[in-house]
Amino acid sequence: MKNKFLATLLFACSMGTLSAQTPVYLDDSQPVEARVKDALSRMTLEEKVALCHAQSKFSSAGVPRLGIPELWMSDGPHGVRAEINWNDWGYANWTNDSITAFPALTCLAATWNPEMSARYGKAIGEEARYREKDVLLGPGVNIYRTPMNGRNFEYMGEDPYLASIMCVPYIQELQKNGVAACVKHYALNNQELWRGHIDVNLSDRALYEIYLPAFKAAVEQGGAWSIMGSYNKIRGQHACHNDLILNKILKGDWKFDGCVITDWGGAHDTYEAAVNGLDIEMGSYTNGLTSESAFTYNDYYLAHPYLAMLKEGKVPMSTIEDKASRILRLIFRTAMNRQKPYGAVCTDEHYAAAREIGNEGIVLLKNTPVVKKGAPLLPIDAAKYQNILVVGDNAVRLLNQGGGSSELKVKDMVSPLDGLRAVYGDKVQYAKGYAAGRPMYGRADEVPQTVVDSLRAEAVEMAKKADLVVLVGGLNKNHFQDCEGGDRLQYGLPFGQNELIEALQGVNKNLVLVLLSGNAVEMPWVAKVPAIVQGWYLGSMGGKSLADVLSGAVNPSGKLPFSFPAKLADCGANAFDALSYPGDSIKQVYKEDVLVGYRWHDTKKIPALFSFGHGLSYTTFAYGKPVASAKTMTTDEMLTVTIPVKNAGSVAGKEIIQLYVGDEKCSVLRPAKELKHFTKIALEPGEEKTVTFTLTPDDLKFYDETASAWTLEPGKFKIYIGASSTDIRGMVPFELK
Ligand code: GLC
């Protein structure tokens, strides 16, 4: 009897029916792929399809029957957005969701410092984790193609190499918290006007050389666990279910093992979504009659319509196996990852990160003495002034509000006026100077001319009595400014600021202009204004960062991640007809091709007002002669270049040394020079360091459209070492054999 019982017991165990151990999919000690396979084997077709679409505004389903949790997502790239209602875009008005607002990603890019990117990702990841989010909808790495794009402030500039280097540490550190990055908006969402449907057409070279590299780096180096499909079309097919960019490039060439998530409302067709690589559909307005209706989420394209097509054999079962596997993998990496830390919000470390990213991102554009042989106005020496007048709506405006999905509800927000008062005390007076109306969506809030005139008159009167005037202006997060869902209506400063600048400078030559914006602006008054600072949207500690730099407590070290064209027509995207920008409302053609930003200014010899990579310091840096390890290079060798750099001034500072490569002669048109390496070094007064760059054959390749491959073409090249894309301090020729 005993043996029979033992035999039965052993048989039952071997069949797992009486398994003492945890099921594989719930067992953390098992490899993720085994857990995915096991979970899939236990799920019904209905349960697999349910994973593929939203169940609320910002969540997608898990598998309740198996104890597999839901996925919770949240904006945004600059901080964790306040809780949104279950079923609509309204705020839930919780009392525990105030967080840290970090500087906008243009500011992070302007630091040119990957360490700042790592600190950013760690801090925002801890805040997202604490808020129990599984997916953070950022960072954005679309390329700054035109200063008219309303969303450039969320991205990392005009150069694919800078954006590639600067997004990777953010993603890596964010994901160490068990929170997935969702890199966006893939791809070619380079304007907001008609973003939901504009059909972007461009050459393969522009696609591969300019618009894809940052996404490629995010996937291959950053290891991003999810990516967000963009609203627009690409060559006739919606990006959220686009065979070329999702199946062939992302999941094929780049071997992406994560999830493709739509932008909210980016899905438009069940069959295409099924076969063209979409994994999770969010935010769809499926019934076409109303948005956010009471309709259940089962009306989504990847819900019941997809289930029906699977059952009728109209789409292969392999599509749902692939989608469900990717979504389960994302769940195991996040919601079911028990190794993840607990996170935290509004810590001293997070505020320090926000402040120091701001400090390293602020760009000193101009700082010339007002009178010959006089001292420049910056840094502001308190002892020299008794009456400092701060002017401008942006000196007090809560710039965390507005702008679209990246808007934030903060626990603390130090304004520029507060920051300057903390340093200069009651020497500081304030005049609003201009008014900007409320951050709204869909239309601009008009300011009556009487208000414009009276605010300006008041500021001018006060400026007459001041020793120094600091105007904090720029753009803001209102619609048609730096805001999602619309593009700018003018390249010049809004709200009558140009007239205000002229009027202030007319009564007081000691004028410091601080621009808070995520975009370049036209500067008709540039010759008259002695000091100009590009200040970005700096987040919770913005006022402290600005005061740190204006007071000289911190020596500015930021450099521009995008060019400032003198006038809009000087920008490549805007140099052609409407089809190039903004398109004809249906179709668009990127006519500047690979000549984006400084690539256009250099190659067409149309100098920008302030160049890509430009940024001054309170000290000066002397560059020695660059020396290359050889005069020739074969296609399987590398070349090193060394440059001595010295701090020739009297204050410590940081310098960003940039290496550009120019192909002297090529079978295709190539930009005059392209950024291929950079480094940021700190130097004490008088200190000299030697910087070494290693050039590889990959740095010399261009995308060959006939071969559909990255190609090396032997010939003569030039290495340019620059303090900016136009401030070239040394050049070394070499030949590729
Ligand atoms: C918005 C934005 C996207 C955001 C999403 C959710 O339309 O385009 O960046 O993450 O919808 O708010």
Q: Is 137 in the pocket of ligand 1 (CB under 6 A)?
A: yes
Kindly give the distance from the C-alpha atom of residue 348 to the centroid of ligand 1, in angstroms, as a whole number. 29
Q: What is the mean pLDDT of residues 16-27?
A: 73
The secondary structure element, H or E, covering residue 200 is strand 199-201
| 17 burial via Cβ count (<10 Å: 0-12, 13-18, 19+) | exposed
Tell me which of 297 and 518 has the higher pLDDT.
518
Same domain, 672 and 540: no
> For 47-56, 72-81, 124-133, 291-300, which range has the lowest pLDDT when averaged over its residues?
291-300
Same domain, 222 and 274: yes
The sign of the torsion formed by the CA atoms of 47, 50, 56, 59 equals positive
Report the residue among 195, 264, 292, 408 best suited for mutation to probe ligand 1: largest number of ligand atoms under 8 A from its CB: 264
Q: Which atom of ligand 1 is nearest to the CA of 182?
A: 10
Residue 438 burial (CB count, 10 A): 10
Nearest to 598 by CA among 505, 687, 520, 699: 520
Tokens of 628: 């290359």
Same domain, 371 and 486: yes
Say what the pLDDT of residue 2 is.
Answer: 54
Say what the pLDDT of residue 1 is.
Answer: 46
Q: Is the pLDDT of residue 331 over 70?
A: yes
CA distance 77 to 255: 24
Length of the chain: 737
Name the pLDDT band for 286 (thresholds 50, 70, 90): low
Name the pLDDT band for 20 (thresholds 50, 70, 90): low
Say what the pLDDT of residue 8 is.
Answer: 54
CA distance 728 to 596: 19
Say what the pLDDT of residue 441 is.
Answer: 79
Q: Is the pLDDT of residue 606 over 60?
A: yes
Q: How far is CA 24 from the centre of its chain?
A: 38
Residue at 373 is within a domain: yes
CA atoms within 13 A on the CB side of 547: 21
Residue with CA closest to ligand 1 atom 12: 405
Q: Is 170 in the pocket of ligand 1 (CB under 6 A)?
A: no
> For 433-447, 451-465, 625-639, which range has the lowest pLDDT when averaged over its residues?
433-447
Residue at 5 is within a domain: no
Q: Is 131 in the pocket of ligand 1 (CB under 6 A)?
A: no
Same domain, 552 and 690: no
Q: Which residues of 399-420 are buried (b: 16+ CB within 10 A; e: fewer)?
A: bbbbbbbbbbbbeebbbbbbbb
Report the residue among 56, 59, 72, 75 best suited for mutation to probe ligand 1: largest number of ligand atoms under 8 A from its CB: 75
Q: Is the pLDDT of residue 12 over 80?
A: no
Residue at 526 is within a domain: yes
> Does residue 185 have a cis peptide bond before it, meaning omega lies within 30 degrees of 0?
yes
Write the pLDDT tens digit of every residue in 645-680. Answer: 999 999 999 999 999 999 999 999 999 999 999 999
Q: Which residues of 701-730 are buried (b: 16+ CB within 10 A; e: fewer)?
A: bbbbeeeeeebebeeebbbbbbbbbbebbb
Residue with CA closest to ligand 1 atom 4: 405
The fraction of the chain above a pLDDT of 90, given in percent, is 93
Kindly report the CATH number assigned to the domain that includes residue 514. Answer: 3.40.50.1700
Same domain, 400 and 310: no
Nearest to 410 by CA among 261, 292, 537: 537
Per DSSP (E only), the strands in 298-362 are none
The fraction of the chain above a pLDDT of 70, given in percent, is 96
CA distance 144 to 549: 26
Which residues fall within 8 angstroms of residue 225, CB to CB, at 6 or more apart? 135, 175, 180, 181, 258, 259, 330, 333, 334
Kindly report the CATH number assigned to the domain that includes residue 705. Answer: 2.60.40.10
Say what the pLDDT of residue 438 is.
Answer: 85
Same domain, 291 and 319: yes
Q: Is 263 in the pocket of ligand 1 (CB under 6 A)?
A: yes
Kindly report the CATH number assigned to the domain that includes residue 89. Answer: 3.20.20.300
Write the pLDDT tens digit of every residue in 391-426. Answer: 999 999 999 999 999 999 999 999 999 999 999 999
Distances (CA, A) of 629 to 290, 638, 681, 693, 701: 66, 9, 22, 10, 20
Kindly give the distance from the C-alpha atom of residue 296 to the centroid of ligand 1, in angstroms, as a whole number. 21
CA distance 81 to 57: 13
Say what the pLDDT of residue 17 is.
Answer: 42
Ordered alpha helix ranges (H), 159-231: 160-175, 204-206, 213-220
Q: Is 655 in the pocket of ligand 1 (CB under 6 A)?
A: no
Q: Which domain holds residue 390?
A: 362-562
Same domain, 314 and 165: yes
> Hey, which residues are catalytic here?
263
Residue at 347 is within a domain: no
Say what the pLDDT of residue 135 is.
Answer: 99
Counted domains in the chain: 4
Same domain, 275 and 255: yes
3-state secondary structure of 722: strand
Say what the pLDDT of residue 445 is.
Answer: 84
Same domain, 598 and 626: no
Write the pLDDT tens digit of every residue in 141-175. Answer: 999 999 999 999 999 999 999 999 999 999 999 99
Write the pLDDT tens digit of every residue in 333-379. Answer: 999 999 999 999 999 999 999 999 999 999 999 999 999 999 999 99
Residue with CA closest to ligand 1 atom 3: 263
Contact in structure between 673 and 725 (CB atoms under 8 Å): yes
The secondary structure element, H or E, covering residue 474 is strand 468-474
Q: Which residues of 135-170 are buried (b: 16+ CB within 10 A; e: fewer)?
A: bbbbbbbbbbbbbbbbbbbbbbbbbbbbbbbbbbbb
Residue at 21 is within a domain: no
Q: Is the pLDDT of residue 13 over 90?
A: no
Say what the pLDDT of residue 382 is.
Answer: 95
Q: Which atom of ligand 1 is nearest to the CA of 138?
A: 10
Q: What is the mean pLDDT of residues 694-708?
A: 97
Kindly give the distance from the C-alpha atom of residue 264 to the centroid of ligand 1, in angstroms, as a whole number. 6
Kindly give the distance from the C-alpha atom of residue 262 to the centroid of ligand 1, in angstroms, as a whole number. 9
Say what the pLDDT of residue 21 is.
Answer: 81
CA 156-562-607 angle, to 5 degrees, is 165
Q: Is 155 in the pocket of ligand 1 (CB under 6 A)?
A: no
| Mean pLDDT, rounded, of the chain | 95
Kindly give the distance from the C-alpha atom of residue 93 to the centroid of ligand 1, in angstroms, as a whole number. 19
